[in-house]
Amino acid sequence: MYTAHQFYKGFSLKRVYYSGYVPVSADSRLPDMQSRVPLVRENRLYQADWLMRFYGFDVRELLNDEHPQLETEIDPKLSWALRNLQVFPIDINKDDLQLILRVPGIGVQSAQKIVKARGFGRLGWEQLKKIGVAVNRARYFISCAGEQHHRDRPQEQIRQFILNESKSKYQRGAVQQGSLF
């Protein structure tokens, strides 16, 4: 991720590609030839890369001495939000676009729609759902129309709530890469 960050900043590179390690030779220093391709890790790398390119995250916010690796159980944006609960809750009807982009469950297009829509009145939970916000994730980090769900919950409890509601294909058992043969 640090190398990708350098490419983006130093060389104005537009895109970095990632690939999970695929064993091609037998060597005791390398993973076994029969080991699975780490698809979850590859997915997390792309998610972190997306956060740097489109959401305004710095690589040091996602990875640092305390958190040198991306978590495989949760996405990088949720991981950052759980480590920075002091930033939340944000008021969806007042805070700026950059803060709204930091909320898990709110994408770039949804954040832009929120900023535009609140010019016509205060937004509530139903309006956020119509805009496309994943309210099941965002509700732990925002308040809207003066209402906040799950106020003052500890980090681990919020994490468990979200994982229990998760429909990620990576959470429900091992994912295997298809074979060409």
Q: What is the pLDDT of residues 90-126, one digit of tens each?
A: 999 999 999 999 999 999 999 999 999 999 999 999 9
Assigned domain for 64 exists: yes
Note whether residue 63 is domain-resident.
yes
Cα 38 to Cα 8, 95, 162, distances in angstroms: 25, 38, 23
Establish if 177 belongs to a structural domain.
Answer: no
What average pLDDT score do residues 141-160 get? 80
Number of domains in the chain: 1
User: What is the C-alpha separation between 76 and 53, in angstroms, rounded?
Assistant: 13
Residue 89's domain spans which residues?
2-15+36-165
176 inside domain: no
* Helix segments in 84-176, DSSP class H: 97-100, 108-117, 125-131, 135-138, 155-165
Q: Supply the pTM of this predicted model.
A: 0.82
Residue 174 has pLDDT above 50, yes or no: no
Rounded mean pLDDT of the chain?
87
Burial class (CB in 10 A: 0-12, 13-18, 19+), 136: middle
d(CA 71, CA 85) in angstroms, rounded, equals: 17
Does some domain include residue 108?
yes
**Is it the case that residue 15 has pLDDT exceeding 80?**
yes
Q: How far apart are CA 59 and CA 48, in angstroms?
A: 8
Q: Is 23 within the bounds of a domain?
A: no
The helix/strand/coil state of 144 is strand
pLDDT (average), residues 78-99: 95
Give yes or no for residue 145 having a pLDDT over 90: no
pLDDT at 95: 96
CA distance 120 to 27: 63
